[in-house]
Amino acid sequence: MGAIKGKKQRWHYKTGKGKLIYDKLQEDILTHGEWAQNYFQLSRETGVPDQTLHTWKDRIIKERGPIDVTKAGVAIVNALKANIAMCQKELKDPDNTKTDRAGIRRSLNDMIKTYTETVEKYGHKETIAKKIKVEGGLWEELATIYKDKDGDK
């Protein structure tokens, strides 16, 4: 399917078969992401040199413009919610052994931690640590003790 032996074929992304391949690549990148593509395999299937495919990928990404961080955060949060739901469903499965359930619980705890960090990073939830205010005599006494210790050295 590639170029005729001895002749270099020029692939153009705006016309002919090159446009069809470019449009398919663009759709795949926008749907699944640029890292989900196997450019070597696509090159073998279409006859377009893999370097040309990488150039096209760079053009597609440049044309797409900057990523909306809020939308990315929402997508990550939704994926984590789905994974958490699957883990919760697996915990209820009577066929799972005690060891399986322990692993699922560890995964679930990690996902919940990641979920919390993600919603805080993308501004969907205020960080609780920022809200905590230290008050009271005990804290002042502890601070005094530590200051005295440092002064004794």
pLDDT grade for 139, boundaries at 50, 70 and 90: low
Mean pLDDT estimate for the chain: 79
In a domain, residue 11? The reply is no
Residue 123 lies in a domain: yes
pTM: 0.44
| CB-based contact 60:26 (threshold 8 Å) | yes
Pairwise CA distance, residues 104 & 100, whole Å = 6
Q: Is 21 exposed, middle or buried (0-12, 13-18, 19+ CB in 10 A)?
A: buried
On whether both 78 and 110 belong to a single domain, the answer is yes
How far apart are alpha carbons 30 and 34 in whole angstroms?
8
Same domain, 77 and 101: yes
Q: What's the pLDDT tens digit per position in 34-62?
A: 777 888 999 899 889 989 999 999 898 88
Question: What residue numbers bound the domain in which 120 lies?
Answer: 69-131
What is the total count of domains within the chain?
Answer: 2
